[in-house]
Amino acid sequence: MINKIVLVFSATFGMLAIILGAFAAHALKKKLNKNQIKSFETGVKYQMYHAIVLLVIGMNLPSVSSSLAFCFILGTFLFSFSIYGLVLSEYKKRKLRFLGPITPIGGLLLTIGWALLLFNFLN
């Protein structure tokens, strides 16, 4: 069951990374400054990296640990989507400052996910 959830999130994150990357490249490129585009692209890259990781672990680990899945899924969501929110709200001149501390929480969850994956491989 957990593997199916991991694969659903993998496909969803991958699909959204393509859509948001295209959105940034075509609709936002002329509206955002270089730093904003770079930040947005960082969110897209990390989202796609973790979509691929979720795909690999969902298909190759017989039983994905729920804590590992939780860290990668929630970490990706918090990290990437808080960046999107920060960039777009700054562009609209209504910066959502509360999102600033959410990005590193997402990064921390991603780091914990990688540590859990390492622990899984060592055992």
**Would the CA dihedral through 97, 40, 22, 44 be positive or negative?**
negative
φ/ψ bin of 111: left (φ > 0), alpha (ψ from -120 to 50), beta (otherwise): alpha
Among residues of the chain, what percentage have pLDDT more than 90?
A: 84
Predicted local confidence at residue 43, as pLDDT:
97
Predicted confidence at residue 60, as pLDDT, reads 87
Please, which pLDDT band fits residue 13 given cuts at 50, 70 and 90? very high
Mean residue pLDDT of the chain comes to 94
Helix 34-60 crosses helix 102-122 at what angle (to 10 degrees)?
Answer: 30
pLDDT in tens, 63-105: 778 899 999 999 999 999 999 999 999 999 998 989 999 999 9
> How do the domains of the chain map onto residue ranges?
2-122
